[in-house]
Amino acid sequence: MENLRQLLYSDLARQAELEGRLGERPGWARFLRRLLHHRFLPIVLCRVSRAARLARIPVLPELLTYFNIVLFGLEVTPRCEIGPGIFFPHPSGTVIGAWRIGSNVTILQGVTLGAKTMDLGFDFRLRPEIGDDVVLGAGSKILGGINIGDNVTVGANSVVVDSVEANCTVVGIPARKISKHPPRNTAEVAT
């Protein structure tokens, strides 16, 4: 439970940082409003669903995932390990079937992370792994058992089917590298 609390605190702190509210000292009403915000509540549901799965509580992970789909249009498998600082500026239309997502990842609307083929058994070898400090542009698709390195930007509507090295930007169908850049300071990421 402590790990869940730390993850949620990190997620909330990153959201405040990206929205320019870092250092604010909110009262209870403002804290509750942030907690129930459409950018943060889907993350809470994902985190609690994952914690319930790890605690082997039957039915609850699937129920929370279903609520996330119905309320926010965001489907995240409770099997996906998500690092601290995840941010969904607009969660609708996003499907996350990756096996691991790193720290400080920004995922815009309509992103799909999953297998290239039908995989109802959730084979980790067929699922993507996303590194730290990654930005996944709106509508991008990351498919198959590939690795997206740290500090990668995937352009909007790109389809990534091969692993991507760290510190670069990829665009297109299929995605190809268009630039290499130095490691990013996560405070500079704008949505």
Mean pLDDT by 10-residue block, N- to C-terminus, for the chain (191 residues)? 83 84 63 78 95 95 96 95 95 94 96 90 90 97 97 97 97 93 61 40
Per DSSP, the three-state class of 130 is strand
Q: Residue 34: what pLDDT?
A: 74
CA quadruple 46, 47, 53, 54: dihedral positive or negative?
positive
Q: For position 90, what pLDDT does the model report?
A: 92
Specify the pLDDT at position 16.
82
Q: What is the CATH number of the domain that holds 119?
A: 2.160.10.10
Q: Residue 90 and residue 167: Cα distance in Å, rounded?
A: 24
Please give the backbone phi and psi of residue 14, each rounded to the nearest 5 degrees, phi first: -65, -40
pLDDT computed for residue 187 by the predictor = 47
Q: Which domain holds residue 112?
A: 2-188
Q: What is the number of domains present in the chain?
A: 1
Handedness of CA 176, 181, 182, 184 (dihedral sign): negative
pLDDT value, residue 26: 59
Packing angle, helices 2-18 and 28-35, rounded to 10: 90
Residue among 113, 95, 93, 108 at smallest CA distance from 138 = 108
The predicted structure's pLDDT at residue 162: 97
